[in-house]
Every structure is written in structure tokens, then in C-alpha cells.
Structure 1
Amino acid sequence: MQYDMNEWIGKRQVTEDEISLTLVRRAAAMTDLDPAAFHRGNELPPHWYSMFFTPNARASEIGHDGHPRKGDFLPPVPLPRRMFVGREVEFLRPLIIGAEARKVSEIASITPKSGRSGQLVFLQVKHTIELDGEAAVVERQNVVYREATEPGAAPEASRETPGAAAPAFAWEQALTIDPVQLFRYSALTWNGHRIHYDADYARQQEGYPACVMNGALTLHLLIGAAIGQAGDKRLKRLVARLSSPLFLGDTIRLCGGPLAPAGDMLAMDACAIGPGKRSAATVQLQFSTPGSPA
């Protein structure tokens, strides 16, 4: 099957939002931070940008899976399953709590491929978040569209595991995927995808064994853990990849290496490891060195 959607490349969309103190405090509570520690005028933790600029589709514009229908900004890819698989982000300047900002989104590429699970279409969207007319965050978000799965079929597992050759971790945290936290994150990000809260839909329509962990939440927790290990270093860039699904009730390990010199930056590798020692997500982070420009 061939997909020719080149006319969608370059399509743009502008979304305005406020870096709301209310939402920031709710996000803090979601990860057991003190909401009262956040105030207007503070810098937003860098990776929290992704909880803003949500696609506020009207009820009549929602598809059967809970996502906004395709064919408006996103191309009408004729494959039913849409999954977030990773992002590359540059942090140019901090976003400020209470400030008004805007996001300019552009379809960067559409790439059809064939995989073990059938036909795939990879979509990359470039998002530029602007504050006072200047770029603050630039993200290249990667999404894959896939064929429908037979009801009851096991999800495709990643072949990527840490393995015996993986380096020793400098830090590690364990957590269990909690239904309340998963619900709160979906609510904060206005994510209606039914795989995250409707167990019957997840099993019967998309072939998963249980409600699916939101991959963006996995990255949020993993990046937050890594930043916590970096002290006062400022995050400048990250590359994140999701490699296999996690499910409600799974225990996962957030792990990472030490900060190490990488040119004029400091770098750290981090990963989320699920049941069976399977890699669920990896992130490469780069931080500014002391005395470097902010």
C-alpha cells in the first residue's frame, strides 16, 4: 500500500497558551512535589513544556480512539493506530510560569515503511515554542501510525534490552505505574486516548493486555529523575526514544549513568526498564557546563 502525502509537508498550525500556575501546581502534585513551591515568575522545569499547548479538539472532532480526528492539521494517514515514539528537543531559554507563549507546529516529514507488524507511517512534527517572540524550546516529535491489531493479540515486544554489556548505572529509582497518576497526567495534558483509561478498549480494540502507560509520562518521569541527578546544571538538549510499551501495574526502573564530558557540554544517558529487563525508553541528555552561557 502506498501513501503519498507530500502536500501535507510544511503545513503549519499556531497554538497560544499561558504557562498557567494552576496547571504547574497540579503537575507538581502529580509527581509528589510541593505545589506551593511554584510561583508566577519562576522558571518552568524545562521538560514540563510538553504539558502545555494541548490540541483542544471539540467533542464532535474526536475519533473513536479518543484522539482528535485526522485530516485537519495532522495528515489523514489511513492506518488506525497512532503512537508517540520519541522526540528531540533543544532548550534555548526558560519558559516562565504565568507568561503567555505560543507554539508554531509544522509537518516536517512523512515516511512510509514496512515492518514486522505490517505497514507503518512515520510522522515528524517540528514544534517551536516562542516566548516574547523568541524561540524558547524547539522539539521534533516523532509519531508512528500502524495497522490494526487482532483483538487479544500480544503487543509486539522490543528486541532491545540492556543486556550483559550495559554499563553499570550510577543511579536508579523504582516505581509502579499507578492508575491515579496515569489518569492525572492524561487530564493535565488533555489526552483522551482510550488506551490509557479504558481497559476494555485497550484489550478488545488495540490488542493490549491492560491500560497502556502514557509514553510521554514515562519520559517525563525519566527526564525528571535524570535532572535531579545533575544538580544545578541546566538542561540544553535531549534525544528520547520509546521502544516498548508499559502497562498499568508494571514496576519500572528509572536508571542512568554519571554526568560525563561531551565536548563543551556534560552528557548523561538514562533509561526506563520494564518487566523482563526490557528497555521501554532511552534518553540522552546534555547539560551546560559551569560558566557556559545560559
Structure 2
Amino acid sequence: MNTDPRPTLSQSDDMDPARAAALDVTLGRAVQTQAGDVLPPFYHQAYFWSPAPAEVLGRDGHPRVGGIIPDMGLQRRMWAGGRLTFHSPLRAGIRAKKTTTCETSQRKEGRTGPLGFVTLRHDIEQAGQLCVTEWQDLVYRQDADPTSVKPTAPSAPNDAETEDAVSFSTTQLFRYSAVTFNGHRIHYDLPYARQIEGYEGLVVHGPLLAQLLMLKALRELGPLEAFSFRATSPLMDFERAVLCRRGRDLWVRGPDGRQCMTAQA
């Protein structure tokens, strides 16, 4: 009997290869995933959808909080980062189960007002074996104050061993939202992103940047046992960026030299 008082959610998915193939195309990969193929790290983002009717969505397109994520009275949601442990490869076309637990949730006072911090843990099993453990860090905050001074983003290092330039289109952001069933309007609704959340343009998904860094690490370092990442500054759809690596440290550098994400493989 489960005596853990923390909220949990269990989902199963047949891991349709067509879903992974759609993500391949979205990411510009030449391969097309087939049944039985090993899925690249983080491809589970394309699975375990949680469709919810429109009447239970919040204004941002995400399901309203109050279920597994407690309602702390804060409107704006951001995926701040995450950590992953890869125990065994996931394969396309084989049914898998994901169990999500709300590990921590707390509200604190920050310099710019109240903040809500939530950490979700996802355990993904396939064929009776634990394959992936992921910790997803979310931050909730109040609406942006248009009169406030925006914080200065940290500067990215300039000593990378390898660099890959990347750019994004609104079509790619829409496709990534669709294949990962991410309804957050900051990625496809420009008036909402600008007028409600205070961004200069559409926001490139944090998980999309993390996915690209993981694929870079996979190409250059080999199979991953663990990966962690932290978003440090939002990247807009009209900005070119550079994926950087030095040893097992990776980061995303914006066009003005700011650091948008840090990671370690």
C-alpha cells in the first residue's frame, strides 16, 4: 500500500514511433525513428500527453493548477530547469508507464515579489525496468510589471571547445509545442507573449534548448548517464543563438553574448 502523502499521477503510453519521427523532423534530424529503435535522450517529452478540455485550462494554455501542482496564487509559469538520470534506453513502439510525484512545493518572497517553486519527479518504466528519472523544476510568479527594470542576464563564457549556431522559426516553435502537447501560449501567441507576459517576442521553449544541448552532448560525448540544465535568460524566436560545449559543460549563448541556459552532461 502506498503511504506516501505526496500527490502522484500515473500515465501509460504506447510510445508510437510516429510521434518520435515527428520530433525528428521538428528538430531537423535526418533520421526517422522506427518501432524498436532506441529513443534519443529527452524524447519522452513527446509522450505521456495529458489532454484537458478547454474549460479547465488557465489563461496561459496550461491546465489550471490545483491538482498535482498546488495553487499558490501566482499566474506566470516557467520551466526553470531539470535533472535527468538515464538508467536504461527507452524504445519506440513499446508501452511505457510514467509516474509523476510532486516532490516539493513552496512559496517564497523574492526581490521582485512572491515566487512559487515546484519540483516534479517523473519515473518512466518500460518492460518492467526503470529507464528514466527526471526532476522538473517549475517557478511561478506574479504578472510582469511593465515599469520595473528587467534583471541583467549573466554573460556566457567565450571558451567553448565546440559551437553550433542555431535559429528558430515560428513554425518550428509551433511544431515543438504540438508534438510535446505544450499549450503554453508564450510559444505561439505573440500578442499574449508581449502584452500579458511582457516578452519581446515568442519564447523558445526551455525544453527545446535542453533537447538540442542533449543531442549535442550525445554526438560529441557518447551515451548520457545523466544531464542537468538551468534556464538563465529567455531566448526569443527572432534571435540566433549558439550551442556551446567545453568538456561536459554546455550552454546556450544569445546573440548579445548573454547566457540563456547552462547544462552539464
Normalising by structure 1, report the TM-score. Answer: 0.84
1:92-151 per-residue CA deviation (whole Å, 9 max, x = no partner) reads: 001011011011000101122222321101100111001122211001110000011135
Percent identical residues? 34
Matched residue, 1:132: 127
Q: Alpha-carbon deviation of 1:40?
A: 0.7
Which runs of at least 4 in structure 1 moved beyond 4 Å after TM superposition? 151-155
Q: Alpha-carbon deviation of 1:64?
A: 1.3
> Contact (CA 8 Å) 1:108, 1:125: kept in 2 or not?
yes
The SS at the match of 1:282 is: strand
The SS at the match of 1:22 is: helix
Change (3 A) 1:54 1:40: same
Further displaced range: 113-122 or 134-143: 113-122
Matched residue, 1:276: 256
> Contact (CA 8 Å) 2:69, 2:118: kept in 1 or not?
no
For residues 28 and 216 of structure 1, what CA distance do their matches in structure 2 show? Answer: 15
Matched residue, 1:251: 240
Given candidates 181, 188, 200, the residue that maps to 1:197 is: 188
What letter corresponds to residue 109 of structure 1 in structure 2? T
Matched residue, 2:225: 236
Matched residue, 1:264: none
What letter corresponds to residue 155 of structure 2 in structure 1? T
For residues 15 and 161 of structure 2, what CA distance do their matches in structure 1 show? Answer: 34
Query: Are 2:62 and 1:86 equivalent residues in the alignment?
Result: no
Further displaced range: 218-227 or 194-203: 218-227
Given candidates 67, 70, 73, the residue that maps to 2:65 is: 70
Given candidates 172, 175, 188, the residue that maps to 2:179 is: 188
Q: Alpha-carbon deviation of 1:50?
A: 2.2
For residues 136 and 5 of structure 2, what CA distance do their matches in structure 1 show? Answer: 14
> Contact (CA 8 Å) 2:41, 2:214: kept in 1 or not?
no
Matched residue, 2:136: 141
For residues 54 and 156 of structure 1, what CA distance do their matches in structure 2 show? Answer: 34
For residues 245 and 106 of structure 1, what CA distance do their matches in structure 2 show? Answer: 27
> Contact (CA 8 Å) 1:151, 1:204: kept in 2 or not?
no
Given candidates 10, 13, 27, the residue that maps to 1:14 is: 10
Q: Alpha-carbon deviation of 1:18?
A: 1.8
The SS at the match of 1:277 is: coil
For residues 57 and 149 of structure 2, what CA distance do their matches in structure 1 show? Answer: 27
What letter corresponds to residue 247 of structure 1 in structure 2? M
RMSD: 1.8
Q: Alpha-carbon deviation of 1:199?
A: 0.8
For residues 279 and 54 of structure 1, what CA distance do their matches in structure 2 show? Answer: 31
For residues 72 and 46 of structure 2, what CA distance do their matches in structure 1 show? Answer: 25
Given candidates 214, 235, 243, the residue that maps to 1:223 is: 214
Normalising by structure 2, report the TM-score. Answer: 0.93
Unaligned runs of 5+ in 1: 1-7, 259-267, 286-294
Change (3 A) 1:76 1:126: same
1:69-106 per-residue CA deviation (whole Å, 9 max, x = no partner) reads: 11122211200001001011100001011011011000
Query: Are 2:155 and 1:161 equivalent residues in the alignment?
Result: yes
